[in-house]
Copies of this chain bind each other. A is one copy, B any other.
Amino acid sequence: MKISELSTPAALVDIARMERNIARMQSRMDSLGVSFRPHVKTSKCVAVTQAQIQAGARGITVSTLKEAEQFFSAGITDILYAVGITANKFAQALALIRNGCDLKILTDSVQSASAISAFGIANDVRFKVMIEIDTDDHRSGIKPESPQLLEVAHALAAGGTQLQGVMTHAGSSYDLNTTEALEKMAEQERSGCVRAAERLREAGFSCPVVSVGSTPTALSARKLEGVTEVRAGVYVFFDLVMHNVGVCETDDIALSVLSTVIGHQEEKGWVIVDAGWMAMSRDRGTQKQTRDFGYGQVCSADGTPLSGYTMTGANQEHGIISRTGDPDLSIVSRFPVGTQLRILPNHACATAAQFPEYQALSSDQNIQTWSRFYGW
């Protein structure tokens, strides 16, 4: 099978780039002296995750219990479910633990902590629990200095649980784009999470794990004193949002969508391709960044970026490609019907999610099909 024989749209993974991305992150974590626990929500693919583990990752992070189930079935046992759990998911978590999964769960409220504890006692199990810390105001978690932190720890101490530690995710790092700001955010993430751990220890709680991370902060942190593990997800593929943040180049982006030219609107300088938003996703993450890539950066079939050409519009199964600035009125002869084009995505997690499988290209141009899953 060659690229030219693939049915389109297709999600291509450039294996050499992916392995370079994995090696870069792992070597950074090794030199910073921390464990690395990749977030597998990006790929939802066993082949990708195995490559991360082979490179040195210790355990994985998941965003759904379905991911935990799928990767546990594939033989991975050390799993952190990094979304606050509620009672409606306790039975599913318990089943994983009963089957031998070393599952860690997460909470940021007394109400949930008490419910976990009560369910643990009732089912004679000790849930391993992390407390979520809010270090950047962007989403969930408890502020490092909040009285709530100790209240949650006390609620967990009622039984049925084992406090593992604290974790935070400085997701607002996605909004930054200078080395200085990224380093500052990485330090804010580190120091806030370490401070929360210290408060717990000062109050007499055991807090062995201090877990931080996002792709931008993981690649920007200058020191990680007090941190035991780092998490990151999108680095494995990278994307245009990460390019704009400044933590990768376009030739690090390992995921692209292969599409075929199906028509033109010559007087507008438009190429129409068979990859619309169903393939690219509706993610417009670069819209508010310094460089807006529309629905994606256009590349030739071999992956070379075509300067100035972006996917400027998307319907469900139609993508509209045009040139920035003056329309390209010779677009019909430049990209005839049947031409294959690769599109680099704004957000790899969102684009990958649209596909049941990846077409993984090795450097000798062999293609393997890697399945991925979706849903909850």
Interface residues of A (CB under 8 A from B): 7-10, 41, 63-64, 83-89, 92, 108-109, 111-112, 115, 134, 139-140, 171, 260-265, 272, 274, 277-279, 281-284, 313, 315-318, 320, 336-338, 347, 349-350, 353-357, 374-376
Contacts and interface: CB of A to CB of B under 8 A. Distances in A.
A92 B315 CA distance: 23
A83 B274 contact: yes
Copies of this chain assembled into the complex: 2
A140 B316 contact: no
Main secondary structure of the interface of A (DSSP, over half): loop
Contact of A86 (B86, B171, B338): B338
A338 B263 contact: no
Kindly list the 4 A-B residue pairs having the minimum CB-CB distance in the complex, ordered from nearest. A282-B282, A356-B375, A282-B283, A84-B262
A41 B317 CA distance: 10
15 contacts: A8-B376, A41-B317, A63-B278, A83-B274, A83-B318, A86-B261, A88-B338, A112-B337, A140-B262, A140-B272, A279-B376, A281-B281, A282-B284, A282-B347, A355-B375
B317 A112 contact: no
Nearest to A65: B7
A344 B337 CA distance: 39
A109 B263 contact: yes
Contacts of A264: 109
Given A109-B337, A315-B171, A354-B353, A262 B320 contact: no
Contact of A108 (B7, B8, B89, B263): B263
Contacts of A7: 88-89, 92, 376
Contacts of A272: 84, 139-140
Nearest to A107: B263
A292 to B, nearest CB: 14
B86 A260 contact: yes
A140 B272 CA distance: 7
A337 B8 contact: no
A63 B316 contact: yes
B260 A88 contact: yes
Given A112-B263, A263-B109, A350 B282 contact: yes
